[in-house]
Amino acid sequence: MNSDSLVVFSTAPDTEVAEALADHLVKERLAACVNLVGGVRSVYRWEGEVQHDPEVLLIVKTDQQHLELLIETLQNRHPYDCPEIIAMPIVGGSAGYLEWLTSSLDPESA
């Protein structure tokens, strides 16, 4: 199955920020769906120090056509200086779900 559908991962500092980001992405049809996964603990190096922070993981379903604007939107609305934004191709899946994903991003769809 060939698809231009993508999964984008990002993190947010808390549920309030994650929900606001997700809501905006779906309302603007930059994402068909965003799953919010709480209870994530991130360990990373920032400014020379190892950090341990609680975060909320955003799992964003979109497509290649919307990726550039989605990235720009996340960067502009995100409270982090350097938010995680990683896109991965969806190489297969349920045909019905992938069709729904694509149609959800189309402003002509009701």
Q: Is residue 76 part of a domain?
A: yes
Report pLDDT digits (tens) over 25-35: 999 999 999 99
Report pLDDT digits (tens) over 40-88: 999 999 999 999 999 999 999 999 999 999 999 999 999 999 999 999 9
The count of structural domains within the chain is 1
Structure tokens that stand for 108 in this block: 């002509």
Q: Is residue 46 part of a domain?
A: yes
Say which CATH number the domain at 64 has: 3.30.70.120
Tell whether the model's pLDDT for residue 9 goes beyond 70: yes
User: 76's torsion region: left (phi>0), alpha (psi -120 to 50) or beta?
Assistant: alpha
Q: Is residue 99 part of a domain?
A: yes
- Let me know: does 85 contact 71? Beta carbons within 8 Å: yes
Domain that holds residue 32: 5-104
Q: Is residue 110 part of a domain?
A: no
Q: Is residue 78 part of a domain?
A: yes
Q: Which residues contact 53 (CB under 8 A, 6 or more apart)?
A: 13, 41, 42, 44
